[in-house]
């Protein structure tokens, strides 16, 4: 059976596949947000004073800030006092061996397709598994350590590599950057930390898998990834959450620093629970992701497949500071039912001869709204900068919306910028052609959509490209009638 057939066969269930709740006892703190809660989180994690100070400063800033309103989103009011800011599966310590892990927890990740047993794992992928507020297991740590690569949970990094954390945390996304970044900086609970030393090519894919399980909680993780001179790493994050009727907030931060000639590839398959057909429940996904091409000739590539979340507010961005640095952004965003997405990228060109490429493919179905919002800024000293952007939107159905809001700011005349955007519906003649060859309309749409998104899917690491393809298809089920 070909890949295509496998995918089509798999697509039989139109419900969210990862919506189960695991019966894992969790330890939570009371609802609400104040300085006491922040001190409590910090104390639970046994953090040094500088970390607590960082959190409190961020919190005080957050209090002065307002929720951003410019996005093309309808966001119901969020009661920040009604959220639990810390939840951890009980039996909290890091597990030395798999035998100590709660079998229910292992089973959860098994069901998600992320076995934590290294023997059973996809070879060549190291995983940091984060459930609710804490990291439960990081695999292949020893293998990586041999090469000098540090890959661990953020909490461990704070304890074991405080100098690295202090040097880089907040250097790309300052705690005052925006409303959600400030909130995260105050209350973040865990996340992944990764450092690739000079000249090292990371031998396997690094991956963080985020899972929300507990109810009424918010998830606030942060990822910090530092690639030293001449290093290379490919990193992937995946996310899922149970189906619940109430909305849950996820406000994360990802920071990447790429030094001279370093290359970082950051891929995301975002599949948070999107809410049901009637728009009930789902995750609010308000994420700040930013990379800094600090060194000459460095490169940061973003690939994202966004199918989940009730509301997505997310703009993975790159600051091209080093001369000759390069950045790419490839995105497929699918919205169905009542989902809303306002997503895109920012490419800030500062260094000379910097290059950026943006390819965004939006697919809207149901009553959803899907917006691309992107900024390309060529600053005064960015001599010889180049940007090419392409934003395509595909509409399935007449009740959804597809929007494009590119911002292009050019302050250096040696720059060349091109932006193209098209919006169209799926071709009836294409569907008919497939129908005539015996393919059902639903399958035809899946094929056509995958073809449409291929340019982006091809940029994902192999192991996940197939997964992402399936996901696209599932997300669009029931979108034609």
Contacts with other proteins by CB under 8 A lie at: 70, 72, 378, 393, 395-425
CA–CA distance from 97 to each of 101, 102, 128, 414 (Å)? 7, 11, 15, 57
8 Å CB contact between 425 and 395: yes
CB nearer to other proteins: pick between 164 and 408: 408
DSSP string across 74-120: ------GGGSB--EEESS-SPPSSGGGS-HHHHHHHHHTT---STTT
263 or 393, CB closer to other proteins?
393
Categorise residue 391: left if φ over 0, alpha if ψ from -120 to 50, beta otherwise: beta
- Cβ at position 409, least distance to other proteins in Å: 5
Nearest distance, CB of residue 274 and other proteins, angstroms? 20
Tokens read off for 353: 């001869």
**Residues whose CB falls within 8 Å of the CB of residue 246, separated by 6 or more in sequence, listed in order:** 215, 216, 281
* Smaller CB separation from other proteins, 197 or 401: 401
Looking at the Cβ atoms of 92 and 414, the one nearer to other proteins is: 414
Q: In the complex with other proteins, which residue's Cβ is closer, 117 or 411? A: 411
Q: Is the dihedral of CA 60, 61, 66, 70 positive or negative?
A: negative
| Location of structure tokens 């957050």 | 62
* Residue 298 CB burial class (10 angstroms; 0-12, 13-18, ≥19): buried
Burial class (CB in 10 A: 0-12, 13-18, 19+), 441: middle
Cα dihedral across residues 458, 460, 462, 466: positive or negative: negative
Other Cβ atoms closer than 10 A to 432: 12
Strand partners, 363: 334, 394
At closest approach, how far in Å is the CB of 416 from other proteins? 4
Shortest Å distance, C-beta 395 to other proteins: 4
Minimum distance of other proteins from residue 364's CB (angstroms): 8
Based on CB atoms, which residue is closest to other proteins, 373 or 470?
Answer: 373
Least separation in angstroms between CB 76 and other proteins: 21
In the complex, minimum distance from the CB of residue 369 to other proteins, in angstroms, rounded to a whole number: 8
Q: Which is closer to other proteins, CB of 120 or CB of 380?
A: 380
């Amino acid at each position: 059976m070909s890949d295509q057939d496998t995918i089509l066969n798999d697509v039989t269930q139109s419900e969210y596949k990862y919506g189960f709740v695991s019966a894992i006892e969790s330890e939570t703190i009371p609802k609400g947000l104040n300085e006491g809660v922040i001190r409590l989180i910090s104390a639970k994690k046994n953090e040094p004073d500088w970390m607590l100070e960082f959190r409190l400063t961020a919190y005080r800033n957050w209090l002065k800030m307002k929720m951003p309103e410019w996005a093309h989103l309808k966001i119901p009011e969020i009661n920040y006092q009604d959220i639990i800011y810390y939840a951890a599966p009980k039996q909290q310590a890091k597990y030395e061996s798999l035998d100590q892990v709660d079998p229910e927890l292992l089973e959860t990740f098994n069901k998600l397709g992320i076995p934590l047993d290294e023997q059973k794992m996809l070879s060549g992928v190291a995983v940091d598994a984060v459930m609710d507020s804490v990291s439960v297991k990081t695999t292949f740590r020893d293998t990586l350590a041999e090469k000098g690569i540090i890959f661990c949970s953020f909490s461990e990094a704070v304890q074991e590599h405080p100098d690295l954390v202090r040097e880089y945390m907040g250097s790309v996304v300052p705690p005052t950057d925006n409303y959600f970044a400030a909130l995260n900086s105050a209350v973040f609970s865990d996340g992944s930390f990764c450092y690739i030393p000079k000249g090292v090519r990371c031998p396997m894919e690094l991956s963080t898998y985020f899972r929300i399980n507990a109810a009424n909680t918010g998830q606030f993780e942060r990822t910090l990834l530092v690639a030293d001179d001449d290093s290379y790493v490919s990193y992937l994050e995946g996310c899922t959450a149970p189906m619940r009727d109430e909305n849950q907030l996820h406000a994360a931060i990802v920071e990447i620093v790429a030094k001279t000639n370093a290359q970082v590839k950051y891929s995301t398959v975002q599949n948070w629970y999107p809410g049901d057909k009637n728009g009930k429940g789902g995750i609010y996904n308000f994420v700040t992701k930013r990379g800094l091409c600090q060194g000459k000739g460095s490169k940061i590539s973003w690939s994202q497949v966004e199918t989940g979340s009730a509301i997505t507010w997310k703009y993975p961005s790159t600051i091209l500071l080093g001369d000759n640095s390069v950045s790419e952004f490839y995105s497929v965003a699918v919205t169905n039912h009542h989902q809303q997405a306002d997503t895109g990228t920012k490419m800030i060109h500062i260094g000379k001869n910097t290059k950026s490429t943006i390819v965004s493919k939006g697919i809207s179905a149901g009553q959803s709204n899907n917006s691309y919002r992107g900024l390309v800024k060529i600053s005064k000293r960015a001599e010889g900068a180049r940007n090419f952007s392409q934003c395509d939107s595909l509409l399935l159905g007449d009740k959804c919306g597809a929007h494009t809001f590119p911002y292009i700011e050019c302050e250096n005349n040696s720059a060349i910028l091109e932006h193209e955007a098209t919006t169209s519906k799926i071709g009836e003649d294409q569907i008919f052609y497939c129908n005539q060859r015996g393919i059902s309309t639903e399958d035809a749409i899946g094929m056509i959509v995958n073809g449409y998104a291929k340019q982006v899917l091809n940029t994902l690491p192999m192991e996940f490209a197939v997964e992402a393809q399936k996901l696209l298809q599932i997300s669009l089920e029931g979108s034609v009638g």
